[in-house]
Amino acid sequence: MTSSLVVGLVLLAAVCGALAVSHPDEVQFPWLKQLPSRQYSGYLVLDNENSLSPKKIHYWFIESQDNPRNDPVVLWLNGGPGCSSLLGCLEELGPFHINCQSNNTTQCTFEENIYSWTRRANVIFMEAPVGVGFSYIPQHKLYENDDDSTAVDNYHALLKFFEEFKEFRKNRFLVTGESYAGVYVPTLVKLIHEGNSRETHNFINLEGLAVGNGVTSWNTNFNSAVFFAYYHGLFSLTLWDNLVEFCCQGKASRRTCDFRENPNQLCQKYSLQAQQSIYESGINIYGIYKKCEHDPTSYLRMESMITREKPPQKISINMDSSTEDDVPCMSMHGPTIFLNDPVVRKALHIPEEAPRWNACSGFPNFQYTRNYETVMPIYAELLKMNYRILIYNGDTDLVCNFLGAQWDFEGLNRTVKSEYRSWKVDGQVAGFVKEFNGLTLLTVKGSGHMVPQFRPKAALSMFESFIDNVDYGTNDHMDVIYPS
């Protein structure tokens, strides 16, 4: 660990609270005597038929900086599929961010995140499925997962977590995540509900779920992206007119247009042109008004986002060798340098046999099969079970755009509690919100795919309103509670 990084960490310690009694998985960085709250990192071991090769799911658990014994426990899952939830910890909603200007750790700085969700909640960052990040199977090199196996493993990992941290069983529990967590979250919540119905000793005090910029229906995601792209000027009027004529029966609407499954060969031709215009333009697909952090020609091929094939279908992220630690247009160098430092690995209790940490695992060693064309029926089931659901979207994200979320969830025909309106932070519009019985649809103005990273203050305000079950943006108190 370099001297400049140590200095940055020591400065952070000045604003942090003292650690309490030790736990086997407790994180104690050798250069830091204090952290904002207690942290734990280790493995949730899932035994299988071959006890010599159990699945080892890595977690990083950070207690609330406010009232850990009474604040909710929140599980956070990043998507991909194949991307690590430690990205959520170190770049989005965790208590500190790591930034590196080069591959040399002397250029790294360690910064407190004053809008961390751990200010109000105990947060579990779980690297799932196995084969992602530090999660692994001993002596394994090829990892094959699917939607259902991931949900089962995540559920059993949670049971292991609450066996290890029994003192948190009584706390309210919420499942959250972004992107492909639009699939991970509802499939896991359904298993938790079913498990709670079967037994009492493994009861999880489940209250609700929140998904940011999530994929929920492949058809809707594909079709809405074409509308989003055209109305944001990403391809020409001529191409749009051809799409409307051959894909939309001459009338552009979400009900008449089918850009993905249309048998018309001219529709297929122009739809492919639209996809090429969008995804090969060099634009930052995670935030169309943000700059691209590296050579756009080295994009990951996000086949999972634009595929026409129906499940079951194997999908994986094909990593370009020049940017193997990044995702399209987004730099992940800071977390990569930090998490692969031997001192950090030791502090996080990562054994030597565990793999090198990568932001996203991809082809050929990580292969993933999607089982669902849409998970909207699962969301509908969960609403009938009276779980609270928040669906939020940064409104400049192209990968999982806000239009698709509106189309899918408005289509559930829930009773409207409050019509579409703005919500505010610091007296300024932070986005728009519409509320139904048990369901909230919310946008975050100016944010891309990773809302807690791109709009951290608005994200924390939204999160607080969700866990407190109060109106969004009506209690504008952020600076009073969390001064910078």
- What is the DSSP secondary-structure string of 310-324? PSSEEE--B--GGGT
Provide the pLDDT for residue 82: 94
Provide the pLDDT for residue 483: 39
219-274 pLDDT, tens per residue? Answer: 999 999 999 999 999 999 999 999 999 999 999 999 999 999 999 999 999 999 99
Provide the pLDDT for residue 19: 37
Q: Report the alpha-carbon distance of residue 326 to residue 231 in Å, rounded.
A: 28
User: In the structure encoding, which two tokens stand for residue 285, read together?
Assistant: 């697909």
Provide the pLDDT for residue 85: 98
Provide the pLDDT for residue 51: 65
Provide the pLDDT for residue 327: 74
70-93 pLDDT, tens per residue? Answer: 999 999 999 999 999 999 999 999
Provide the pLDDT for residue 14: 36
Instruction: Please list the active-site residues.
Output: 179, 397, 449
Domains parsed from the chain with CATH numbers: 1-222+287-484 (3.40.50.1820), 235-280 (no CATH)
Under DSSP, the state recorded for 199 is: -
Q: Report the alpha-carbon distance of residue 12 to residue 260 in Å, rounded.
A: 50
> Could you give the count of Cα atoms lying within 13 Å of 389 in the half-sphere of its Cβ?
28
- Residues of the chain under the 70 pLDDT cut: 1-21, 48-51, 102, 104-106, 295-326, 475-484
Provide the pLDDT for residue 29: 84
Give 90-149 as a DSSP string: IIIISSEEEEESSSSGGGEEEEE-TT-GGGTSEEEEE--STTSTT-B-TT---EEEEHHH
Provide the pLDDT for residue 295: 64
Provide the pLDDT for residue 326: 60
Taking the whole predicted model, whether its pTM rises above 0.85 is answered as yes
